[in-house]
Amino acid sequence: MTPFARIAIIGLGLIGSSLARAVRARMPGVALTGFDRDGAVCETVRRLSLLDSVAGSPAAAVAGADLVVLAVPLGAMRAVGEAIRPALAEGAILSDVGSSKQAVIDALADCVPPGVQLVPAHPVAGTEQSGPEAGFASLFMGRWCILTPPPAADPAAVARLADFWTRLGSRVETMDARHHDLVLAITSHLPHLIAYSIVGTASDLEDVTKAEVIKYSAGGFRDFTRIAASDPTMWRDVFLMNRDAVLEMLARFSEDLAALQRAIRWGDGEALFRRFEASRAIRRAIVDAGQDTGAADFGRSHPETPATTPGA
């Protein structure tokens, strides 16, 4: 039996629409409703038949749902929480997919009526694209979903949500919200900040033209541009909502960057080599853990190398 009979998703972009597709694929028979403030998004969701019904308001969408998932940007969580509070059904689980967790707990603290359980979650899965057409059913397969229940959460509700994400193909872990925010600050938030920064620096250069930056991007730059193409609203909110953890990691990063700068200035090849060798081991561990492909150049296709003629 599926853990929920009626699921409401508020926010039908990349993550919300992927969740709808995954539920359809893995839990047929579950009633799916949803709402998005963007009329064009609602139209697309109807056209793609991703839900059983698209409601006219967030409150109408959550009425009678035993699981409500907020898939809106972090800055919109509180407003949505306030709008749905009176309509949440007794016994429902209120969850979300936000990329920062303590901020969601703080935003929703006053929006949970008695008889409703708040169990925040973060599927560590995504792409640099946005909107319902960018979503796909297998997005969460083999990826981690981190649950961050507040200390008073009912363990039965946490287990039910863990079961839900496991059935969608995710691997589930439970963590304290503040610890989640620290871990994600280094594994996700700081890399995005660095990508936004380096792409900005390259486009502001005066001695190197923008055409040259684009032409020679395969030297490494283009891999930063994928990350830096991520949704501006989402990432603005991530940095505003996970400020302390990001600033802490940024301070550590700046010190390590200064150490590399010094090694380059003083010709300390040994220090550079040691650092690069350790980094390579991290890449190997990520591939070994099944979190990325081991294929060269992220598995991009390359033209066949022409056969060499003997003696040529």
Where do contacts with ligand NAP occur on this chain (CB under 6 A)? 10-16, 35-38, 41, 71-74, 76, 79-80, 97-99, 123, 126-127, 130-131, 231, 234
Our CB check for ligand NAP shows the closer of 134 and 260 to be 134
Our CB check for ligand NAP shows the closer of 92 and 184 to be 184
Our CB check for ligand NAP shows the closer of 76 and 198 to be 76
Our CB check for ligand NAP shows the closer of 11 and 149 to be 11
Give min distance, CB of 109 to ligand NAP, in A. Answer: 17
Our CB check for ligand NAP shows the closer of 24 and 263 to be 24
Distance CA 221, CA 205 (A): 14
Give min distance, CB of 262 to ligand NAP, in A. Answer: 35
Give min distance, CB of 53 to ligand NAP, in A. Answer: 16
Give min distance, CB of 71 to ligand NAP, in A. Answer: 5
Nearby residues of 149 by Cβ (< 8 Å), 6 or more positions away: 118, 119, 120, 157, 158, 174
Give min distance, CB of 30 to ligand NAP, in A. Answer: 20
